[in-house]
Amino acid sequence: MNIKKYRIKANLTQRELAEKLEVPKNNVSRWERGEHKPNVFTVMAIARVLRCSLEELMEENDENN
């Protein structure tokens, strides 16, 4: 997933993204590190907040963020 890439592109901190999604900040950190994956409804919300498509968000990372 490319959450970190699009979060940075949207100029949001992990805390700001978490607040917009109404989830704990730790969730965003874990998603970005690949420790956990958000459910499908959360993925749709992330894409909406970060203004990217689901396809862009779900593409495999070239980096291991």
pLDDT in tens, 6-43: 999 999 999 999 999 999 999 999 999 999 999 999 99
Superfamily classification of domain 3-58: lambda repressor-like DNA-binding domains (1.10.260.40)
Residue entry with tokens 């749709």: 44
Distance between CA atoms of residues 23 and 37, nearest Å: 13
Asked if 21 contacts 46 with a C-beta cutoff of 8 angstroms, the reply is yes
| Confidence at residue 61, expressed as pLDDT on a 0 to 100 scale | 65
Domain range summary for the chain, segments of one domain joined by +: 3-58
